[in-house]
A and B are shown apart, each in its own frame.
Chain A
Amino acid sequence: MMPIRHCLTLTLGALKRNRLQTVLAIIGMGVGVGALVTSVALGRGAQHAINEQLRAAGANVIVVTAGNYLQGGGNVGTHEGGEIIGTPTGPKSGDEGTSHNGALLPPQLQLDRPPTESYDGALPIAYSRDDRLGHPTGAVWYGGTGAPWVFMSVHEEDDPFAVHDHPTAAQRLGDSMAGLGAAATLTRKDADAIRAMPGVQYVASSVQEDQRLKVLEGGEEKTWFTYMRGTDDTLPMIRTGWVFPRGAFFTEEDVKAARQVMVLGRVAADHLFGHDANPIGRTVLLWNQKFTVVGVLGSRSWAAQPTPGDHEFDAFYVPVTTVQKLLDLGKLNTITLTTYSVGDTTQIARRIVDLLRQRHKINERMPDDFMVRTEAQLAIGHGLPPSVARVLGGNMAGVDQITIGRIADSLKRANNTMLSLLAGVATVSLLVGGIGIMNILLLSVTERTREIGLRVAVGAQRSDVIMQFVAEAVLLSLVGGLLGTVVGALASGSLERLFKYSIDISIASSLAAIAVAAVLGVIFGVYPARRAAGLDPIEALHHE
């Protein structure tokens, strides 16, 4: 076998000598590779664009809420409150609890103290107790005679079936524990754990409550009762429909330092300062604490206009750390997160459930002490009274099958089809390029018959001849491939400007295309090479 450098000398010499052959072969292969590179880039760009649009619709948002809805027929309630005392005695039947209407029911809880109250004919069987408050904050009822389980916990102050429009105990200064109405189950450490998961993009912790803001303006006091969100600096990345007509959202630094800064929603800002005023830098009082306004939040989307009571623009945002510090609070209401790829949302939601069950040391048979919902499910209940929303969200187990998740899947499949089609066409053109090389080499063998005869006469072995022609084919393919990749990249670039896609050239696919070109070179070079090696040198020498 000839060494590589030797081979290269021979090959380069031959290619230089037969310019037309060389140029044609390179063009042929170049077009094929260029088409392949461009079409792959186009397909990936389209996928990217689709992803972007779905992302804007919030399809990649997951919300983890402390506390848990139960699914099942009949009455549905929230579990809010402290820990459940008493131990489970095991399921009534079956391995993980009985099933009713397809929903998983908790196993029977052993009574810790006798039930004293009844609700709508259902008897209570156990109480949960929040140790910090020193009084029961929940109860479990069992509906007798075939009625389904009802598992509820009730806050002392609040009836879960009523609409909350009154300030809760949190309003009272210093009383940090009462009234936030959330199960004490989600923490910032949970948020950090979720942040560390692969596929998770932005994570924002949140503590939310109705609160009153006060502004002192020239001796006059203006107040506005609105919705507080103590959250992370990442929330604007998640809520992509936001714009900031004034100022900006607070920063990571603000969150780390638990600064007393505030972003006002449009409605709140209008009511406190008037629509045309600039509230940036002004002071707002929350719990008689001074907060500086750093931004005003408006809506980008015509579909979601700021309206009083909407909890988004009739709201104010402060760093979650500040709230936790001022109220001496360790727990969160919600953790909101986005995933990189819309297609992964359901899978990541499931993984979060597993993660949190593990972190909260939830026994297999016990239900979650949190809820993980994708945006689709949340959208269903948007704007409805909490009780109705609860019922809807809780009862529509299949909600995420028919909404954005499904749409995302269909779009993904459609895009894959398109990508396959494009790639198929490109592969065909690549093959054509390879066949072109083969034809050109075959022609070349004919034209160089005398040369081949001479080489054999002066001592070329059969393998030398084959190597030479295969090497020529490979070199032509490689150069063509390289050229095609460059041209493909340029073409994709101009297409990008034309279609306003972000077209995605990946290094990996370019290298793959070039490697494919080289392999094709070998395949399509072998036949002409063997033809060349099989020539009779005597005839070849006298060939015209």
Chain B
Amino acid sequence: MSIISLRNLTKTYQMGDSTVHALRSVSLDVERGEFVTIIGPSGSGKSTMMHILGCLDRPTSGQFLFNGRDVSSLPRDELAGIRNKQIGFVFQGFNLLPRTTALENVEVPLLYNRPVVPAAERHKRALAALTAMGLGDRAHHHPSQLSGGQQQRVAIGRALVNEPNLILADEPTGNLDTKTSVEVMALLQELREKRTITVVLITHDMDVARYGTRIVSIRDGQIVSDRPNIPTRAVEAAAPLSVVNG
């Protein structure tokens, strides 16, 4: 069973006077454990697809089956639950809470867990996630005290804290230098390999896209190509980094 199944997905919205066809009848299947990179220029609809995949937006028509379940018509609170437990987000701008420790940042998804996770348990799980990212010793640093790469790793830790099946990454290396970008990509690859987490990543940079096992090109709301790929091995390219134990 595919983890993600898009069937004739269409998304249209109004922008002032004009109608924007962000996605036109897109169909796509993603299996567990794939590392799919979606590449396209701005306005191609890749962001829209990411939002729909992330249950942040509903399609205008068509179906989105997540783990075999049609989520396009679920109520908001249920979608929130899916985002909470089954999806992990990584953003270009990290989106960490300022003036808050790394540990507290990683805890954020746990605050919205239902049933409620008590404080001690939250701390434990967050610390474990941070440590897995190699930042256990910086648990009490604020984002301003961390480098870009470290911040993104905190964000990835946050994305993983509820042990989701799917990671959605939106230009995760956009704000990082080359070396750090490679480190982050290595991390994502490792996650996929060691923990069988499905990764869907969107980018406009082909070099980044080549880290995936499958490259999907999108343009003007339609998939123009979808081909498997031999991923660039970021793990070897990067110097010692990950301590992901799976």
Q: Is A461 an interface residue (CB 8 A)?
A: yes
Shortest distance in angstroms between A514's beta carbon and chain B's nearest beta carbon? 28
Q: Is the CB of B84 within 8 A of A450?
A: no
Q: Is the CB of B119 within 8 A of A459?
A: no
Q: How far is the CA of A233 from the CA of B77 in the complex (A)?
A: 77
Pick from A3, A453, A461: contact of B77, CB below 8 A.
Answer: A461
Q: Is the CB of B80 within 8 A of A460?
A: yes
> Known interface pairs A17-B98, A17-B100, A541-B95. Does A458 touch B57 (Cβ–Cβ under 8 Å)?
no
Q: Is B219 an interface residue (CB 8 A)?
A: no
Q: Is A462 an interface residue (CB 8 A)?
A: yes
Q: Is the CB of B116 within 8 A of A459?
A: no
Report which residue of A5, A451, A541 has the largest number of chain B beta carbons within 10 angstroms of its beta carbon: A541
Report which residue of A9, A457, A541 has the largest number of chain B beta carbons within 10 angstroms of its beta carbon: A457
Shortest distance in angstroms between A459's beta carbon and chain B's nearest beta carbon? 2
Q: What total of chain A residues lie within 8 Å of the partner, measured CB to CB?
A: 25
Q: How far is the CA of A457 from the CA of B84 in the complex (A)?
A: 8
Shortest distance in angstroms between B166's beta carbon and chain A's nearest beta carbon? 13
Shortest distance in angstroms between A26's beta carbon and chain B's nearest beta carbon? 18
Q: Is B125 an interface residue (CB 8 A)?
A: no
Q: Is B42 an interface residue (CB 8 A)?
A: no
Q: Is the CB of B81 within 8 A of A457?
A: no
Q: Is the CB of A458 within 8 A of B77?
A: no
Q: Is B59 an interface residue (CB 8 A)?
A: no
Q: Is B71 an interface residue (CB 8 A)?
A: no
Q: Is B24 an interface residue (CB 8 A)?
A: no
Pick from B57, B80, B85, B99: contact of A538, CB below 8 A.
Answer: B57
Contact with B along A457-496 (1 / 0, CB 8 A): 1111110100000000000000000000000000000000
Closest to B57 in A: A538
Q: Is B76 an interface residue (CB 8 A)?
A: yes
Contact with A along B95-116 (1 / 0, CB 8 A): 1011110001000110111001
Q: Is A212 an interface residue (CB 8 A)?
A: no
Q: How far is the CA of A451 from the CA of B99 in the complex (A)?
A: 12
Q: How far is the CA of A220 from the CA of B229 in the complex (A)?
A: 137
Q: How far is the CA of A453 from the CA of B81 in the complex (A)?
A: 15
Report which residue of A10, A456, A461, A464 has the largest number of chain B beta carbons within 10 angstroms of its beta carbon: A461
Q: How far is the CA of A523 from the CA of B97 in the complex (A)?
A: 27
Q: Is the CB of A459 within 8 A of B95?
A: no
Q: Is A188 an interface residue (CB 8 A)?
A: no
Q: Which residues of B contact A462 (CB under 8 A)?
A: 76-77
Q: Is the CB of B99 within 8 A of A17?
A: yes
Closest to B105 in A: A454
Q: How far is the CA of A2 from the CA of B111 in the complex (A)?
A: 9
Q: Is B138 an interface residue (CB 8 A)?
A: no
Q: How many B residues touch the partner, as a band?
A: 20 to 34
Q: How far is the CA of A462 from the CA of B77 in the complex (A)?
A: 8
Q: Is A13 an interface residue (CB 8 A)?
A: yes
Pick from A451, A459, A537, A538: contact of B81, CB below 8 A.
Answer: A459
Residues 26 to 84 of chain B near chain A (Cβ within 8 Å): 51, 54, 56-57, 76-77, 80-81, 83-84
Q: Is the CB of B116 within 8 A of A454?
A: no
Q: Which residues of B contact A541 (CB under 8 A)?
A: 91, 95
Q: Which residues of B contact A132 (CB under 8 A)?
A: none
Q: How far is the CA of A422 from the CA of B34 in the complex (A)?
A: 71
Q: How many A-B residue pairs have CB under 8 A?
A: 64
Q: Is the CB of B104 within 8 A of A459?
A: no
Q: Which residues of B contact A17 (CB under 8 A)?
A: 97-100
Q: How far is the CA of A83 from the CA of B51 in the complex (A)?
A: 103
Q: Which residues of B contact A16 (CB under 8 A)?
A: 99
Q: How far is the CA of A128 from the CA of B241 in the complex (A)?
A: 119
Q: Which residues of A contact B89 (CB under 8 A)?
A: 457-458
Q: Is the CB of A458 within 8 A of B83?
A: yes
Q: Which residues of A contact B83 (CB under 8 A)?
A: 456-459
Q: Is A246 an interface residue (CB 8 A)?
A: no
Q: Which residues of A contact B84 (CB under 8 A)?
A: 458-459
Shortest distance in angstroms between B193's beta carbon and chain A's nearest beta carbon? 25
Q: Is A6 an interface residue (CB 8 A)?
A: yes
Q: Is the CB of A5 within 8 A of B119?
A: yes
Q: How far is the CA of A131 from the CA of B95 in the complex (A)?
A: 104
Q: Is A129 an interface residue (CB 8 A)?
A: no
Q: Which residues of B contact A459 (CB under 8 A)?
A: 80-81, 83-85, 109, 112-113
Q: Is A239 an interface residue (CB 8 A)?
A: no
Q: Is A455 an interface residue (CB 8 A)?
A: yes
Binding site for B on A (CB under 8 A): 2-3, 5-6, 9-10, 13, 16-17, 450-451, 453-462, 464, 537-538, 541
Q: Which 6 A-B pairs have the closest CB atoms?
A: A459-B84, A458-B109, A459-B112, A17-B99, A454-B95, A461-B80
Besides the known contacts A6-B111, A460-B112, A461-B77, 8 further A-B residue pairs in the complex with CB atoms under 8 A apart: A5-B119, A13-B100, A13-B104, A451-B97, A459-B84, A461-B80, A462-B76, A541-B91
- 21 example contacts (A-B, Cβ-Cβ < 8 A) are as follows A3-B116, A9-B111, A10-B111, A17-B100, A450-B95, A451-B95, A453-B95, A454-B97, A454-B108, A457-B56, A458-B112, A459-B81, A459-B84, A459-B112, A461-B80, A462-B76, A462-B77, A464-B112, A538-B57, A541-B91, A541-B95
